[in-house]
Amino acid sequence: MVGLADEGESDDNNTLSSYVVSIHLHGEKSPELKALLGGVSTAVADVKSPPPTVALLKAIAKSDISKMAKVLQSYSFYAGTVKIYFKEKEDPLRLIFSVTTGKPFLLNEITIDISGPGLPADIIPPNIKETGLKQGARGTALSIIDGGDNLLVNLRKLGYPFAEMADRKVVVDYATQMIDVTFTLSPGERAVFGKTTITGLEDVDEEFVRSKIPWKEGWYYDPNLIQKFRNRVSRA
């Protein structure tokens, strides 16, 4: 929930020549979080070229509230609040963003679904451990995105080069302050290595390059083998 406290002390139509901005962070005092909050603020960005009136600055500051709220949510502070105060009797005018993080919401249920026909019996389905996420840990946006990426990396190692994230659903329970996440994976077609064609060689023997290939025709695609081949060739 995001709150607003507007403490104007004079006519909003007064002209504005300059102002300063302060961000007061309450709760988790993270320098990185504070920098991100300032980074999304138009009021902070416009300090060197202020709007012509106090009223316009107030409108800009109010529009910053939702942007700062999204930053808080990305850090799992879904109950965080952002309030703005204007100290118009000060010279220059001082705009204060008072940000309270509250407690971080934690991960609860993590579910992995497969869209389409599913995986063959010889493949162990992706599991929660592969995401790197843990129940009871903070559900930051970055950790959830990374968790989905980890699932895709593992699917590609199993021969699915075109695996995609069909859906990533995040459900926030404000009553319990818990987060449920559902990853829906679309594996695509399973692929195998076909015939390898080598072109563009000038001073290197083709058979020498072929001797560095770590896969055989018919093996399931694995990006790690591609990287292994590149490493072998670059060291040769």
The per-residue pLDDT for 1 is 46
Residue 12 domain flag:
no
Domain extent for 121: 106-186
Position 26 scores a pLDDT of: 97
For residue 11, what pLDDT is reported? Answer: 59
Assess whether 81 and 123 both reside in one domain.
Answer: no
| Residue 7 forms part of a structural domain | no
- pLDDT for 193-217, tens place per residue? 999 888 887 778 888 888 889 999 9
Task: Quote the pLDDT of residue 99.
Answer: 98
Residue 62 lies in a domain: yes
Do residues 107 and 132 touch, judged by C-beta distance below 8 A? no
The Cα 26–Cα 99 span in angstroms is 6
- Number of structural domains the chain divides into: 3
pTM here is 0.83
- Output the average pLDDT for the chain: 92
> Domain for residue 1, yes or no?
no
Based on the domain organization, do 40 and 113 belong to the same domain?
no
Query: Quick one: 115 and 59 in the same domain?
Result: no
Residues 6+ apart with CB under 8 A from 223: 156, 157, 161
Q: 94: helix, coil or strand?
A: strand
Q: Is 120 within a domain?
A: yes
Closest CA to 148 of 118, 110, 174, 191: 110
Q: What pLDDT shows up at residue 8? A: 46
User: DSSP letter string over 33-93?
Assistant: HHHHHHHT-HHHHTTTS--SBHHHHHHHHHHHHHHHHHHHHHTT-TT-EEEEEEETTSSSE
Same domain, 172 and 204: no
Residues 133 and 180 in one domain: yes
Same domain, 111 and 82: no
CA pair distance 96, 21, nearest whole angstrom: 6
pLDDT of residue 43 exceeding 80, the answer is: yes
Q: Give pLDDT tens digits for 128-138.
A: 999 999 999 99
- Segment 111-121 shows an average pLDDT of 89
Domain match, 64 and 112 both: no
Query: Quick one: 94 and 76 in the same domain?
Result: yes
Rounded Cα gap, residues 113 and 190, in angstroms: 17
Q: Which of 92-101, 178-187, 221-230 has the lowest mean pLDDT?
A: 221-230
Residues 88 and 33 in one domain: yes
Indicate which CATH number applies to the domain containing 153. 3.10.20.310
Same domain, 110 and 94: no
What was the pLDDT predicted at 122?
Answer: 85
Q: What is the domain-level CATH number for residue 82? A: 3.10.20
Q: Residue 8 falls within a domain, yes or no?
A: no
Closest CA to 88 of 6, 178, 175: 6
